[in-house]
Structure 1
Amino acid sequence: MNPLLILVLIVWAVSGVGLIVFVLLHSGKGTGVSDMIASSLYSTQTGTNIIEKNLDRITIIFAIVFMLSLLALMLLYPQGTISR
């Protein structure tokens, strides 16, 4: 296997797992993991907003990296070009 292929596949897999993890950390109707963390760290509502904004930013970064690595795989190795 080509080292570039291995690197792009690793970035793609790590960003995919990270994207899943950070999407699951988002709160839905006040029952998410981020609300549990925020309630233990901060007693005000402002702490929750800061954590949610940071989770949003991290999730967007992981989504962009995932899409760019997927596009790189599609452009560098079109269908049928990876040999065993």
Structure 2
Amino acid sequence: MDFLETALWVLLVLSSLIIIGLVLIHRGRGGGITDMFGGGFASGVQSSAVGERNLTRITWIVAIIWFMTIVLLGLITRFSI
């Protein structure tokens, strides 16, 4: 059980960092962090609407993984002896 808990903590940290990066890459709707840093990497990723849709899908997938990891860690904590 310790291995599973450790693996889930590592997954939680990694998915948290990935979500932060993905949210910062998203196209700004005016005055956001993307505009403050001048776009940079975001302008290459978001060259089309397809790129923005794919970025949104990836963000949602990582967010679901993040949420499920938190739920599993909560269940392990709740039912551990």
TM range, normalised to the smaller chain?
0.7 to 0.9
1:37 paired to 2:51: no
Match of 1:66 in 2: 66
Alpha-carbon distance, 1:48 to partner: 1.6
Alpha-carbon distance in structure 1 between the residues aligned to 2:2 and 2:64: 24
Q: Write out per-residue CA displacement over residues 10-41 of structure 1, whole angstroms, 9 at most, x where no aligned residue.
A: 1111111111110110011374442x2057xx
- Equivalent residue of 1:27, what SS? coil
- Pairwise CA distance, 1:59: 0.2
Q: Establish whether residue 22 from structure 1 lines up as the match of residue 29 from structure 2.
A: no
Q: Considering only CA atoms, is the larger Rg found in Structure 1 or Structure 2?
A: 1
Is the Cα–Cα contact under 8 Å of residues 26 and 52 in structure 2 kept in the other structure?
Answer: yes
RMSD value, Cα: 2.4
TM-score scaled by length of structure 1: 0.73
TM-score, length-scaled by structure 2: 0.76
Aligned residues: 73
- Unaligned runs of at least 5 residues, structure 2: none
The residue that corresponds to 1:11 in the other structure is 11
Task: Point out where structure 1 has 5 or more consecutive residues left out of the alignment.
Answer: 40-46
The share of aligned pairs that are identical, in percent, is 31
SS in 1 for 2:27: coil
